[in-house]
Amino acid sequence: MLDLSHRLTDILQQRPSRISPLSGGCVGQVYRVDMPDGRRFVAKVDNSASAVLDKEGWMLRYLAAHSDLPAPEVIYSSPELLVMRFLPGGGVDRAAEIHAADLLASLHDISARAYGLQTDTLIGGLHQPNPWTESWIVFFRDQRLRFMARVAYDAGRLPARDLARIEKLAGRLERWLEEPPAPALIHGDVWSGNVLAQNGRITGFLDPAIYYADAEMELAFITLFHTFGDAFFRRYEERRGIRPGFWEIRRELYNLYPLLVHARLFGGGYVSSIQRTLARFGV
């Protein structure tokens, strides 16, 4: 803690009056930093040999430069240390869900020349490859399903039989997927722990895993972890529409990616969920 205090003093030009642990974060430790002049910050620290907190800082700065999505302002970033301005807030109520729908609809209106991003990013601390790809189906097949299935398998979290089933499904995606109207910028990790709200308004989306995707990837993820309810989806559909077939088919296919991420990180029941989805699609 003494080393962190010294680093923060150099960065913030004032010695913190208090540094206290916060819950959350897949990578390293997270602290709230209170300053004598009333300012508040959040510091993430990762002392591991594979630290990449600078990638999270890059994503937050990208969102700030390209969108109006409320997210923490980055004060300083390096592989080992990320310092952000503290955002107030707690859980999400119905009014905040409607605000979230407006914010994410606006985010998804931001487009690009192809799917992916100019750099690889992270999801839950895991590598997320983003080579520019003209076809969404090809990108989802190779950079999401095949890539993360192999990562989970190599870590001993996904059985060889299920890796083969993922490969079989990947070769048949054209049966169920279509090319979206346009690439959409997505946050990529919208679960309740990454959303702050206050007085019926969203105050911050945390821990992004951004890239340009089919916007339905975001919507599917939100249903997987029940981040928002009916009020969100009604408002989102008013703003951008939801294409036929999402609820019946594509939602489950798209959620294979976060399920593979969570299988790699945690194993257990997430593998069973993957197996049920594969059976649903006949592989």
Same domain, 57 and 126: no
Write down the pLDDT at residue 25. Answer: 58
Give the tens place of pLDDT for each residue, 103-153.
999 999 999 999 999 999 999 999 999 999 999 999 999 999 999 999 999
Taken in order 7, 9, 12, 18, the sign of the CA dihedral is: positive
pLDDT in tens, 213-251: 999 999 999 999 999 999 999 999 999 999 999 999 999
Domain count of the fold of the chain: 2
Cα maximum dimension of the chain: 61
2 pLDDT more than 80? no
Q: What is the pTM of this model?
A: 0.95
The stretch 46-66 carries a mean pLDDT of 95
Same domain for 75 and 132? Answer: no
* Domain shared by 10 and 150, yes or no: no
> Final residue of a domain: which of 27, 57, 85?
85
Q: Are residues 102 and 236 in the same domain?
A: yes
Question: Which CATH number does the domain housing residue 220 bear?
Answer: 3.90.1200.10
pLDDT higher than threshold 60 for residue 160: yes
- pLDDT of 189 strictly over 90: yes
Confidence of residue 278 (pLDDT cuts 50, 70, 90): very high
pLDDT average, residue stretch 65-92: 96
Same domain, 161 and 260: yes
Active-site residues, by number, are: 189
Q: pLDDT averaged over the chain?
A: 96
Confidence grade of residue 256 (pLDDT, cut at 50, 70, 90): very high
Sign of CA dihedral 110, 172, 264, 229: positive
Same domain, 104 and 10: no
Q: Tell which of 68, 85, 102 closes a domain.
A: 85
Domain that holds residue 237: 94-280
Please identify, among 67, 85, 103, the residue that sits at the C-terminal boundary of a domain.
Answer: 85
- The mean pLDDT value for 192-204 works out to 96
**DSSP codes, the chain:** -HHHHHHHHHHHSS--SEEEEES--SSSEEEEEE-TTS-EEEEEE--STT--HHHHHHHHHHHHHH-----PPEEEE-SSEEEEE----B---HHHHHHHHHHHHHHHT---SSBB-SS-EEETTEEE----BS-HHHHIIIIIIIHHHHHHHHTT-S-HHHHHHHHHHHTTGGGT----SS-EEE-S---GGGEEEETTEEEEE-S---EEE-THHHHHHHHHTT-S-HHHHHHHHHHH---TTIIIIIHHHHTHHHHHHHHHHH-THHHHHHHHHHHHTT-
How does 136-165 read in b/e, with b if 16+ C-beta sit within 10 Å?
A: bbebbbebbbbbbbbbbbeeebbeeebbeb
Asked if the model's pLDDT at residue 37 lies above 70, the reply is yes
